[in-house]
Amino acid sequence: MVNRANYFDTDLERIFYARFPRASYRSWRAFVSLHPLTVDYLYRRYQEVFRDPTRFLWLLHFLKVYPDGENATLLWGVSRPTWATSIETQLQQCYDIWDEVRNEN
């Protein structure tokens, strides 16, 4: 049995654990570094920018681990061009909303 004592049942957690069924909360933190509720808030807040929750998880994983294309594509089960295009697009989207995010407070 996998220990998921800190499971909050968010959509993004469901996607993550569907892809990695034997993963634990520690695995989640190793992949994305943020608390599941923080990830859920960020995704919901900027859902119109980051439309695909799976690719949002890819972006968080990229920002945390900075895996090379080979390792990332093997982990997430996608092709190298799909991974590279998705990360590049989402980084550009982050850049586009940077001023809005910075000025929210």
Q: In tens digits, what is the pLDDT along the chain, a chain of 105 residues?
A: 465 666 788 899 999 999 999 988 889 999 999 999 999 999 999 999 999 999 999 999 999 998 888 888 999 999 999 999 999 999 999 998 888 778 876
| pLDDT score, position 69 | 81
Domains of the chain by residue range: 11-102
Under 8 Å between Cβ of 63 and 55: no
| pLDDT score, position 4 | 62
DSSP state of 34: S
Rounded to whole angstroms, the Cα distance separating 3 from 25 reads 7
| CA distances (Å), origin 61, targets 28, 30, 65 | 10, 9, 6
What tokens were used for 19? 């892809």
